[in-house]
Amino acid sequence: MIKSHFDTNTDTPDVWLRSNEQRWGRYLTQLEHGAIQQGIKLLDRPPGTALDIGAEAGRLTRLLIEEGFDVTCTEICPNKVARCQELNPSSTCKLVSVDDTSIPVGDNSTDLAISIEVPVSEADWFLPEMNRILTDNGMAVFSINNRFSYRGVLTNLRSRLTGDEVHYWKSYRQVCEDVKRHGFKIHKAIGYCWAPFPRLSDSPLIPFLTSCEKWFQLRQLPSVSPWVILVCQRGER
């Protein structure tokens, strides 16, 4: 089972909000916002209901609310649930378990679901649940860690040598096959996270290296990109 590598008891609620103030966090958030907005544009209806899986303290929830969605958030950390609800009082924030294999919303109830930098996006139950909860032609925007990338190979090798949890579970191609098998169409796949910086880095090299990523069109190589954001649309029932 794929589980989150965050400690549900000690992870600070605002750590990812603070990371957005760092160069690497700003780079990641800019790309993620862009993918979510592409998903919103592809909806064939005005903003309705949205789901933010692994919402943390609500760094992406704000975007969904500002776009006019009625937002439900899920999170495994009680302190993050409380903080997300405090910062986004119009949303509905729900505490879930790391062992859950379902999402606590109804069938055919969600127009847009996002799961960004959350390990469950690669769990075997994730796409069937997306299929269940999304409305006809609803959108799913989620990120994966690509096992067949330089970061995937090196990170998994280090994990095996140290006995730590593996964080790169599936390849991009494997995820694409699963997406299509569950009735989704992939509209966009964006490769990113090529530079070897941790989430909270503020290195002065980040602007140059992320510009190189763009100039050399590395974002158009999702099959070998370390991280990939997928913008997918569910078919009609």
Whether 74 is covered by a domain: the verdict is yes
Q: 69-127 pLDDT, tens per residue?
A: 999 999 999 999 999 999 999 999 999 999 999 999 999 999 999 999 999 999 999 99
Neighbours of 204 (CB within 10 A): 7
- Write down the pLDDT at residue 199: 85
pLDDT at 182: 95
Report if residue 3 sits inside a domain.
no
Other residues' Cβ atoms within 10 Å of the Cβ of residue 44: 10
Q: What is the dihedral of CA 105, 106, 111, 115, to 10 degrees?
A: 30
In a domain, 140, yes or no: yes
Is residue 127 assigned to a domain? yes
Domain containing 178 — which CATH number? 3.40.50.150
pLDDT of residue 20: 77
The token pair at 203 is: 């290195």
Instruction: Give CA–CA dist 119/193, Å, rounded.
Output: 16
pLDDT band of 3, cuts 50, 70, 90: very low
**Can you give the residue range of the structural domain that contains 127?**
15-234
Handedness of CA 113, 117, 119, 124 (dihedral sign): positive
pLDDT tens-digit series, residues 133-154:
999 999 999 999 999 999 999 9
| pLDDT score of 166 | 82
How far is residue 161's CA from residue 154's CA, in Å, rounded to a whole number? 11
What average pLDDT does the structure give for the chain? 92
